[in-house]
Structure 1
Amino acid sequence: MKIPSAITLQNIKLDELRQEMDICLRLIIYRDNMIFNDIIVRLQAVFKYNIDEWFKGPAGDNVENTYVAKPVCLCAKGLNSYLVSAYTVTLSKSFVYRKSAMKVLKTFLQTRNNNLFDIYEGYLQIIFIRLRMPRKQFLDYNWQVLSVILNNRLMQMVLERQETDCAMSWLSTLGGAFSALGEEFEHCAKMAGKISMRQFELALRLDNPLLIARCRLYSALSLIQRGYFTTPKYMIQRIYKFAIKEKDVRLQNMCQGVWAKLRHNYKQYKQKKSVSFKTLYISSKL
């Protein structure tokens, strides 16, 4: 009996290794009508299946001559979801485990198809893995602790927002009262300006740009009642442009009302002054 030489044995091993590297498996993990994972398993690597990128291969190699074999279902009853998750992760991370798993899958396909030729020769074998709901669910305690922290933080933010909205409502009522009295008493107009500054701070905390613009408009009204006209003029114009940009009709109407108040008070101011001073031009339209 002729004993094979070392070169012959080496060639046989190279042929076997080449055949193993040519094996290409596609694992489709699904449950009902939903696909949870779709991966290509080769001895070299595991990568996501993409119909557009498939013909480029996992590392740029040419797989244009790859054919699709008859799909096979791994287990008709379905496999535990936790088990399948651990299986796919280990496949992608461990070369040794991937090599052993592909040998097992090759044997499985051979018994199912009875055709070893399909496994080699560049055939893409599709294996369906059906998921089933585990009998026992495991709770991730790390995520539980994180969820408790997030819930506490969200509850704190909700309560803070509620208190801030309540304080804003009270300040609006109080500021409106002082603003009405500010028509006759200057100290009331000053108090209305201070209240508008507190509202401005709350609006910044709420991070509401439209509310911030309204608070600035309240400050402009307080300045007008106290006899300042230049600064409110430019404040109202900027706020009006912002209201048009944000398409806030209510803020636009408020700007027009404060602008009319500015023109009226400035007209009265000029009539009271007996000495000449530099005139501020305020158009009839904002």
Structure 2
Amino acid sequence: MDPLLASCLTSELHRSVCFRKAFMVLLERHCRNHHCRKQCQDIVTKQMNFKVFLQLTDVKFFRLDPDIRWSDRMLPWWTIRLLLEEAFSWLSTLGGAYSSLGENFSHCAIEAGRLSIRQLKLAIRLGDPLLQARCYVYLSLSLMQRGFLKQARNIISHQYKFAVSLGEHSDTRLIAMCHGVWCHLRFHYQRRRQMRETRQCGGKMGRDGHSMHQNGTKSVNPSILGQVVF
């Protein structure tokens, strides 16, 4: 029997119950033709364990040695890639957790940025430019949580241009990520603007209150209170 056919046969016998039953029927017919019907019927009816010896033939036009040598060369690379992808998945899970806490805790935003950089290094080793672009988007989210809005804006803009430039091979998830993080960046700009206006109004109230205290006036102008954003 051909070595490849023998490998397929043994694999299918281990995998499929229906194939094993069909193989037993075929084996019974073979034994019937070779005058060993009773022994084969005992094996089939009693479901006895037995061994089948296959005689492998030498194939002149097909050799397994080149495939085995190539498999030996490629298997370590595939193993490394699987390990890198597993590590990338773990870092994505941890990075998402720290990023969600980064809105309220600065140390979590810093840790999320560190995890994004580690993901970026893995993506560079994997040689996947789309994964690298996603890592940059994750890093921009950490930057905007820490107040570096200009740097985050530049990163998102650059990655969005890269995603759109791919044309029909563009990654829709990467484009959607850029849109979502850009909306989050607009929210941070709006919140910074409101905080700046609040501080300006608070400083104006302090100056006006100080001047009223010097003049001995106890009343407060209601128009000043109306300018404060709570």
Whether TM-score is above 0.5 comes out as: yes
1:59 is aligned to none
Find the aligned partners of 1:255 and 1:216 in 2 and give their Cα distance. 10
Matches within 5 A, 1:83-122: none
> Over the residues paired in the alignment, what is the CA RMSD in angstroms?
2.2
Q: Please state if 1:268 is matched with 2:218.
A: no
Which residue identity lines up with residue 201 of structure 1 in the other structure? Answer: K
Distance 1:169 1:136, change over 3 A: closer
Q: Deviations over 1:118-139 (max 9, x none)?
A: xxxxxxxxxxxxxxxxx98389
1:202 is aligned to 122
Find the aligned partners of 1:138 and 1:223 in 2 and give their Cα distance. 61
Q: Deviations over 1:188-242 (max 9, x none)?
A: 0000000000100110111111100000000000000000011111111111111
Q: Deviations over 1:87-123 (max 9, x none)?
A: xxxxxxxxxxxxxxxxxxxxxxxxxxxxxxxxxxxxx
1:256 is aligned to 179
2:25 is aligned to none
2:100 is aligned to 180
Find the aligned partners of 2:107 and 2:129 in 1 and give their Cα distance. 29
2:44 is aligned to none
5+ long unaligned stretches in structure 1: 1-134, 276-286
1:52 is aligned to none
Per-residue deviation, 1:256: 0.7
1:219 is aligned to 139
1:169 is aligned to 89
Q: Using CA pairs below 8 Å that are at least 6 residues apart, which structure has the higher relative contact order? A: 1
Find the aligned partners of 1:204 and 1:178 in 2 and give their Cα distance. 22
Residues matched between the structures, number: 138
Per-residue deviation, 1:153: 2.1
Find the residue that maps to 2:147 and give its secondary structure.
coil
Give the % identical residues. 43
Distance 1:150 1:270, change over 3 A: same
Find the aligned partners of 1:199 and 1:177 in 2 and give their Cα distance. 15
Per-residue deviation, 1:185: 0.1
Per-residue deviation, 1:150: 2.9
Find the aligned partners of 1:243 and 1:193 in 2 and give their Cα distance. 22
1:235 is aligned to 155
Which residue identity lines up with residue 222 of structure 1 in the other structure? Answer: S
Find the aligned partners of 2:93 and 2:73 in 1 and give their Cα distance. 30
Q: Deviations over 1:132-183 (max 9, x none)?
A: xxx983898xx94x65543222101111111111111111111000000001
Distance 1:136 1:189, change over 3 A: closer
Distance 1:189 1:148, change over 3 A: same
Find the aligned partners of 2:177 and 2:128 in 1 and give their Cα distance. 17
Find the aligned partners of 2:59 and 2:157 in 1 and give their Cα distance. 65
Distance 1:136 1:170, change over 3 A: closer
Q: Which has more helix, going by share of residues?
A: 2
2:216 is aligned to none
Distance 1:253 1:139, change over 3 A: closer
5+ long unaligned stretches in structure 2: 1-57, 201-230
Find the aligned partners of 1:205 and 1:195 in 2 and give their Cα distance. 16
Q: Which has more strand, going by share of residues?
A: 1
Which of the pair has more CA radius of gyration? 1
Per-residue deviation, 1:253: 0.8
Q: Please state if 1:191 is matched with 2:108.
A: no
